[in-house]
Structure 1
């Protein structure tokens, strides 16, 4: 494992049992994500992209292999410890924003810090600052239902970045947006990657978007092409 790797995957395999039949989704995948790097995980639907991202973020466990985050083996941690490491080191952005509808943009963005038990005033100040940086400084008190699709995704990006994570894992973050809005969100994420020096791993099937990343890791039928 590279000493500068934020996330290191070693020989990852993941299989599921469906109706008594074993389905191999990932087969022996190894890769490193370096500090500040932008990386695309590219592949067709069903190639294993989202499964790999979930393993990298500790949301799922591999059938075989290991994931190391910030030098700590996810496999060696209990569920609560894994959750703490995830909260400290990783931010998530999904295709669907997953904002809590009853809370404002400010409250949604502050949530990861509140989970960390940061004092409410401090958490809200940090959330307001990052919402300002994603262009939502005028929308702090608006709930998701009052925001456009692009604004909701910007709020989700702010929530991912509010903890100043070492790595943001983004699963088709522009896939639910029109091309213009999606391009704006992609521009924003790359700008903030530089500003925050946060590694960015983006799952996509869009080759044009993938080409904007430092590195491209292409999956085909669960195997990482080299």
Structure 2
């Protein structure tokens, strides 16, 4: 386990939605912060005496760009000690202890199958990183479906950017799916019905990447296996 902690400086803060904030963090003692799209960093926050109760991990939302700055997108959780600290105490210029990059939630070496990127909430972060990386490096790929589940339209993160990416990245499909928004004209309901419907008639080779809350991931795992896929086709990153 990589135990090296770096002092990061918060260079920019932007509210993305009513309860999420984008944090840009620069790591001055590194010339470039190299990571694979899908990896995460751990922050050590001064919120507890015990080390492991101070640590909070967040997927990197930006793509590797050769600089020493990364972006995280963080949701303010009701009663969440870590996110409350980040939202109330951290300003531009604040310092944060950062460890990473960590994790094996990364793209396969070759994208020779269709990719289903299924997420809820801030679970879109690693997929944003992956999609930009694929576009920038012209990585050969099959169809890519980003299925993003939220309750309301106001919960959608990076929506204009994802729509633009759909225009610029061939075979990339952005499918926001809302479960409670009556006025929404796009896909409604939960993420599961979307991929099931798409694969019902034609169970083609695919890789499934799941990121978000545990309940969604548990259900998706069961449903994907029930469709006849191997559990090795399923990759996941759990939140909470």
TM superposition score normalised by structure 1: 0.34
Task: Name the TM-score, length of structure 2 as normaliser.
Answer: 0.32
Indicate the structure with greater strand content: 2
* More relative contact order, 1 or 2 (CA 8 Å, 6+ apart): 1
Structure with the higher fraction of residues in helix conformation: 1
